[in-house]
Structure 1
Amino acid sequence: MRRNLFLYATTFICGMAVMAVELSASRLMAPYYGSSMITWTVLIGLVMVALSLGNFLGGRLADRPGTEENLFAMIWTASVWIALIPLAGRYVITASFFLLALVFPESLLLAGVVFSCLAIFAVPCVLLGAATPCLVKLCLPDLDRTGRVAGELYALSTVGSIVGTFVPTFLTIPTIGTARTFLLFALLLNLVADVHYVRRAVQLKRRAAVTLLIVALLAGPLPTSFAFWKTTLYEGESVYNYLQVTATEGGGRALSTHVEIGHQSVFYPDHQVSGSYWEYALAAPLMRPKAASDTAWDGLILGFGAGTFARQARYFLPGAHLTGVEIDGGILALAGQFFGVTPDDARVVEDDARAFLRRPDTRRYDVVFLDAFQDITVPFHLSTREFFGEVADRLATDGVLVVNVNLRFQGKDGLLEHLAQTIRGVLPAVYRFDIPGGLNSLVFAPRSPQAWEAFTRQATAWPDRHPLAPLLREVRDLAVPVGPGPLQLTDEVAPVEFLSQEILDALVRDGLREMLVRAFEAARDL
Structure 2
Amino acid sequence: MKTRIPPLWLLVLLQTVVSAASLVVEIVAGRMLAPYVGMSLYTWTAVIAVVLAGFSVGHWWGGLMAGKPQETALRQTGWVLVAAALSTGVAVVVLQAIAGPVMSVVSHPLWAIIALCTGAFFLPSLFAGVPAPVLAQIGANTAPDSGRALGALFAAGAIGAIAGTLLAGFVFISYLGSTLTLALVAVIYVATALLSFWLAGRLPRTALLASVLSLALAGYALAAPSPCDTESDYFCIRTIDISESPSEPVRMMVLDHLVHGTSAANDATLMYTDHAAMLDQLAVLRAPAPAFSSFFIGGGSFSLPRALAAREGHGPITVAEMDPAVTKVAARDFWFDPASATVLHRDARVVLSQDTTRYDIIIGDAFTDIAVPQHLITQEFFELVQARLTPDGSYLMNVVDYEDNLQTLGAMLRTLQKVFPVLEVWVEQRAPVPGERMVFIIAAGTAKTEQASFVTRSPDPARYGALSDAMVAGIMGRDTLILTDDYAPIDRLMGLRPD
Per the TM superposition, whether the score is higher than 0.5 is yes
Is 1:9 the counterpart of 2:10? The answer is no
Indicate the SS of the match to 1:488: coil
**Structure 2 Cα separation of the partners of residues 312 and 480 of structure 1:** 29
Indicate the SS of the match to 2:316: strand
Is 1:43 the counterpart of 2:51? The answer is no
Task: Write the mapping of 1:391-430 to structure 2, written as runs, cut at 5 A.
Answer: 391-405=385-399, 407-430=400-423
Task: Look up the match of 2:197.
Answer: 197
Is 1:131 the counterpart of 2:134? The answer is no
Indicate the SS of the match to 2:237: strand
Instruction: Give the C-alpha shift of residue 16 in structure 1.
Output: 0.5
The one-letter code of the counterpart of 1:37 is L
Instruction: Give the C-alpha shift of residue 158 in structure 1.
Output: 1.2
Task: Look up the match of 1:269.
Answer: 265
Indicate the SS of the match to 1:320: coil
| Count of aligned pairs between the two proteins | 474
Task: Write the mapping of 1:353-372 to structure 2, written as runs, cut at 5 A.
Answer: 353-359=348-354, 361-372=355-366
Indicate the SS of the match to 1:431: strand
Kept in 2: contact 1:285–1:366 (CA 8 A): no
Indicate the SS of the match to 1:57: helix
- Show CA shifts across 1:170-226 (max 9, x none): 222122211111111111011111234356443336525633762684499521322
Instruction: Give the C-alpha shift of residue 340 in structure 1.
Output: 1.4
Indicate the SS of the match to 2:215: helix
Given candidates 278, 286, 294, the residue that maps to 1:280 is 278
With over 3 angstroms needed to count, the CA separation of the structure-2 counterparts of 1:137 and 1:444, relative to structure 1, is: same
Unaligned runs of 5+ in 2: 431-436
**Structure 1 Cα separation of the partners of residues 468 and 288 of structure 2:** 23
**Structure 1 Cα separation of the partners of residues 95 and 351 of structure 2:** 38
Indicate the SS of the match to 1:398: strand
**Structure 1 Cα separation of the partners of residues 164 and 489 of structure 2:** 30
Task: Look up the match of 1:433.
Answer: 426
Is 1:67 the counterpart of 2:67? The answer is no
- Show CA shifts across 1:467-491 (max 9, x none): 79997x934x444443465242111
Kept in 1: contact 2:60–2:130 (CA 8 A): yes
**Structure 1 Cα separation of the partners of residues 393 and 341 of structure 2:** 19
**Structure 2 Cα separation of the partners of residues 441 and 353 of structure 1:** 21
- Show CA shifts across 1:340-382 (max 9, x none): 11133211000011111101x3301000000011122111111
Q: Following TM superposition, where does structure 1 have runs of at least 4 consecutive aligned residues deviating by more than 6 angstroms?
A: 466-471
Task: Write the mapping of 1:150-299 to structure 2, written as runs, cut at 5 A.
Answer: 150-197=150-197, 200-204=201-205, 207-208=208-209, 210-211=211-212, 214=215, 217-218=218-219, 222-226=223-227, 235-249=229-243, 250-259=248-257, 262-271=258-267, 273-274=270-271, 276=273, 277-288=275-286, 290-291=288-289, 295-299=290-294
Instruction: Give the C-alpha shift of residue 501 in structure 1.
Output: 2.0
The one-letter code of the counterpart of 1:443 is I
TM value normalised by structure 1:
0.83
**Structure 1 Cα separation of the partners of residues 195 and 44 of structure 2:** 35
Indicate the SS of the match to 1:263: strand
The one-letter code of the counterpart of 2:106 is L
Task: Look up the match of 1:305.
Answer: 300
Which of the pair is proportionally richer in helix? 1
Kept in 2: contact 1:197–1:204 (CA 8 A): no
Indicate the SS of the match to 1:411: coil
Task: Write the mapping of 1:477-516 to structure 2, written as runs, cut at 5 A.
Answer: 477-481=465-469, 482-483=472-473, 485=477, 486-502=480-496, 505-506=497-498, 509=499
Kept in 2: contact 1:28–1:178 (CA 8 A): yes
Is 1:350 the counterpart of 2:350? The answer is no
With over 3 angstroms needed to count, the CA separation of the structure-2 counterparts of 1:312 and 1:207, relative to structure 1, is: same
Of residues 385-394 and 206-215 in structure 1, the stretch that sits farther from structure 2 once superposed is 206-215
Task: Look up the match of 1:521.
Answer: none
Unaligned runs of 5+ in 1: 102-107, 227-233, 510-526
- Show CA shifts across 1:421-460 (max 9, x none): 221221011111124678321111122x3x423x46xx78
- Show CA shifts across 1:145-167 (max 9, x none): 22110110111111111111011
**Structure 1 Cα separation of the partners of residues 406 and 324 of structure 2:** 35
- Show CA shifts across 1:28-57 (max 9, x none): 111111221122122212322222232223
With over 3 angstroms needed to count, the CA separation of the structure-2 counterparts of 1:209 and 1:70, relative to structure 1, is: closer
**Structure 1 Cα separation of the partners of residues 337 and 103 of structure 2:** 39
Task: Look up the match of 1:513.
Answer: none
**Structure 2 Cα separation of the partners of residues 467 and 39 of structure 1:** 35
Indicate the SS of the match to 2:16: helix
Of residues 195-204 and 487-496 in structure 1, the stretch that sits farther from structure 2 once superposed is 195-204
TM value normalised by structure 2:
0.87
Indicate the SS of the match to 1:91: helix
Kept in 1: contact 2:300–2:330 (CA 8 A): yes
**Structure 2 Cα separation of the partners of residues 290 and 128 of structure 1:** 61
- The RMSD of aligned alpha carbons is 2.7
